[in-house]
Amino acid sequence: MSKIRHMRGFLTSCPGVSPLAACSIGVAFATVVALAPAGPAAAGTPAGSVAAGVPAGSAAGTPAGSVTAGSAIPGTTRSLPLAPVSRERALGAAPEQGLYRTGLARFALVGVVWDDPATELHGRVRVRTRSAATGEWSGWQDVETHNTDHGADTGAAERSSGRVHGGTAPLWVGDSDGVDVRVRADGAGEARGGRGTRAGGLRSALPSGLRLELVDPGEGTGETEGAGEAVRDAGEAVPGNLPADDPPHTALDTEAALAASAANADISDFGSYAIPELDRQATERELARLQVSGVQDPARAKPYIGPRPRIVTRRGWGADESLREHGFVYTKTIKAAFVHHTATGNKYTCAQAPSVIRSIYRYHVKSMGWRDIGYNFLVDRCGTIYEGRAGGVAKAVLGAHTLGFNTNSMGIAVIGTYTTTKPASGAVTAVARLTAWKLGLYGVDPRGKTYLTSGGGNLYPKGKNVRLNVISGHRDGYATECPGKLLYARLGTARSSAAKYQGR
């Protein structure tokens, strides 16, 4: 461990350079870390990276994402093709497909994917699962089908990689060994004589290549050891008998793992499981040292920045760094924060949050075909903040969270579904604390407005300069339910609280 602590001595300070610059990451890892956005790279060799020797993909229908010996994260992804469950046909495709399977290897998160990322699923996805602990089946649950509003912008290298799929939002189901899923197109089975149709008189066709993804997050799903806690805050109801999770920590035994930790070494000890919180004075001193471009010189004027909150690193929540593409991609600055919900459901405890995040990460990369988890940060119901996409929490990492507005923004996802469930007050406070600090690094007022250029979407055409709240909901940039009606209603509180944390 002493060697890890002393690694900070190899990092350079580079006065006058923003946190996303190469020198803040360190010369020792210059061959591993991508320093700036680049054009499309050949498959398996992302721009700005070196070969890692670990394949990124796997064949459908087989366990995916196995890691090399010595890794502490033995998670898997299993992809199972769906089959027609109805003789009726619509536009050449069966209007209902499904799968029933028991005796499966354990999994804790499910989702449905299909071939074309530009195709939407117009219909309903329902799933029930069998508990690996009790053998009892859950009730039927709806899976959020409208997920095209997430992901990389149109034309971005990440989106044009050839590996991206369409897919539903993932759903956390807990430790399970059986599944029953039904995917029904709009209009299917609604009426006899062909009257169950969409506008224009045609039934919906289901996307081609429908597959069920079963994700095992690896060690410690939170349901096999220890004692858990339930949180009932602001309307949330969680089972109180779910045991705690002791997340595996990422071993620093690969170039990718070393690079992910090195990206935060400008503000924390190399290899930290969590970046500690700072008081206001220490945060202001750190701001002066980082010398973010465009921020007022603290020696001349009072900086507006919130105290740095505690942030669990990717190593802390157990990210398998062999899954993601190597190297990092950055945007120029941070002008806005988009708030999301993960739509993974609310049946998790705070102790299980690392497992949920590992599952989402695996689903985004292995199932959806993204380069890394889409969000820059995640927040659980107890207010714990987690690092999302790799590249450094103080840096302007390009995410894949708000289609059309990923450039010059960051995405914060509150774990859960908040359409009819109120978010916990601790989660809203965490969003305020995080934005007060991160926006403060870039000299941005959380209560203000800003302009972002649309990369294309269903609300704003590509190239349009759009005026948005600095802290916006996902639905402000794209016509979507996200972040859920009840979380969206709390964004005003997050803005005002963040401004107070900044000292405004």
Tens of pLDDT, residues 121-140? 999 999 999 999 999 999 99
Share of the chain above pLDDT 90, in %: 63
27 Rama class: left (phi>0) / alpha (psi -120 to 50) / beta = alpha
Higher pLDDT, 56 or 277: 277
Give the per-residue pLDDT at 74: 72
Mean pLDDT over the full length of the chain: 80
Spatial contact of 206 and 119, defined as CB atoms under 8 Å apart: no
Structure tokens given for 320: 């398998």
pTM of the shown model: 0.81
Give the per-residue pLDDT at 246: 56
19 has pLDDT over 60: no
Contacts of 27 (CB under 8 A, 6+ apart): 10, 12
Give the per-residue pLDDT at 73: 57
Give the per-residue pLDDT at 92: 55
Cα torsion 212, 400, 372, 255 to 10°: value is 170
25 has pLDDT over 60: no
Spatial contact of 385 and 310, defined as CB atoms under 8 Å apart: yes
Spatial contact of 127 and 110, defined as CB atoms under 8 Å apart: yes
Q: How far apart are the first and last CA of the chain?
A: 40
- Mean pLDDT, residues 56-83: 57
